[in-house]
Amino acid sequence: MSVLCAVRTARADISRIFSAQPIQFLHCPGVRSMAADKELLMKLRKKTGYSFSNCKKAVEKFNSDLQQAETWLHEQAHKEGWSKASKLQGRKAKEGLIGLLQDGSSAVLVEVNCETDFVARNVKFQQLVQQTAIATMTHYHSKRANATDYAKSSLTTEEITQLKTSLNSCSLADQLALAIGKLGENMAIRRAAWVAVPSNWHIGTYVHGVLPADNPSLEKVKFGKYGALVIYRPLEQNLKVNLSELGRRLGQHIVGMTPLSVGSMEDPPGDDTETKMLAQPFLLDPGTTVGQFLQTSGVSVLDFVRYECGEVIEMAEKV
């Protein structure tokens, strides 16, 4: 056989080998494994929200077992969050947000603090505020059960953080630690207030310094630096007054004029230093008092709650 024939024969043999086993070369187990791991990694990251590197570490640690990897990630996040929370505990957290949630005849105000306004605008921080408001509302709904009278209550930091959230039934204390671990600032769930009214009463709501929700899931909660709930009722039926707008205006007054009590209709008119609401000059019409405005409107104010982010608690407790 000539050299040329030998070369042609070798080429033919090689060609037959490649043509006979195309699948082996195009779909080898290593390629399939890499594609599967990448898909699993993206699924885990989307589901948990943790970093790419941590998700990759979890996938490798548990040989691509998604459930074990997710459980481990949550455990590590809690450990790291609590550790960071402990380290940052002494740092001042006077910024943050007031969260307001209304659900029919009941409403909630909460205050959650952080160190900077930058973090207050972060969606993850706003989610913590939302979880706090929803957990508070759920807690009181379970207690109220068919009650028909006016109810008002408040929770301290210690009481709020023990409430369960809708996220895997975790406590707010756990969610707080996770947020601290992710955002790297000291935070505190400071307080919460809840009110519920009978069917013929109304709750006016107002939030000042409103921050728009960057996420559609946050739209039920209003965020701001100041918030007010005002409890009022019409003195007669079929009033020609927009009761919802009236409640918003009263909320504006409470935020702007900082009353410490409702007061009495018999209180003499006061000036800008007056702390009884009914005797104060009405914010939107300083020529008349709040009491006079309510008389012409046919409405009676019974109570209110005012929150200011970072305010001195002793002042807030007099309300």
5 pLDDT exceeds 70?
no
Residue 276 amino acid letter:
K
- Residue range 200-210, pLDDT digits in tens: 899 999 999 87
Distance between CA atoms of residues 172 and 164, nearest Å: 6
Q: What is the pLDDT of residues 52-91, one digit of tens each?
A: 777 787 778 888 787 887 777 766 666 665 455 455 556 6
Residue with tokens 């969050």: 81
Q: Which alpha helices (DSSP H) does 89-231 contain, by range?
A: 117-120, 123-144, 157-160, 172-183
Question: Quick one: pLDDT at residue 30?
Answer: 45
Q: Euclidean distance between the first and final Cα of the chain, in Å? A: 108
Question: What's the confidence (pLDDT) of residue 15?
Answer: 54
Give residue 93's Cα distance to chain centre. 17
Q: For residue 173, with 0-12 CB atoms within 10 Å meaning exposed, 13-18 middle and 19 or more buried, which class applies?
A: middle
What is the per-residue pLDDT for 132?
96
This model's pTM is above 0.75: no
Closest CA to 307 of 86, 154, 130: 154
Note whether 207 and 102 are within 8 A (CB).
no
Statement: 95-317 belongs to CATH 3.30.479.20: yes
CA 278, distance to chain mean position in Å, is 33
For residues 84 and 181, the answer to whether their CB atoms sit within 8 Å is yes
Q: Could you tell me what percentage of the chain is helix, strand and coil, using 3-state DSSP and rounding each to the nearest 5?
A: 50, 25, 30
Within the chain, where are the H helices?
3-20, 22-26, 29-48, 52-61, 66-88, 117-120, 123-144, 157-160, 172-183, 243-257, 290-297, 313-317
Q: Which of 226, 190, 191, 189 is nearest to 205 (CA)?
A: 226
Written as six digits, the tokens of 176 are 């707080």
pLDDT digits (tens, 9 = 90+) for 235-247: 988 788 899 999 9
Per residue in 148-183, pLDDT (tens digit) is 789 999 999 999 999 988 766 778 988 888 888 888
* pLDDT for position 9: 59
Segment 255-314, tens digit of pLDDT: 999 999 999 999 999 999 999 999 999 999 999 999 999 999 999 999 999 999 999 765
The three-class DSSP label of residue 234 is strand
pLDDT value at residue 171: 85
With b for 16 or more beta-carbon neighbours within 10 A and e for fewer, the 228-258 pattern comes to bbbbbebeeeeeeeebeebbbbbbbbbbebb
Which H or E element spans position 164?
none
Per DSSP, 278 falls in state G
Q: Over pLDDT 90: what percentage of the chain?
A: 50
In which band, very low, low, confident or very high, does the pLDDT at 24 lie, cut at 50, 70 and 90? very low
- Name the β-bridge partners of 114: 95
What pLDDT is recorded for position 32?
A: 42
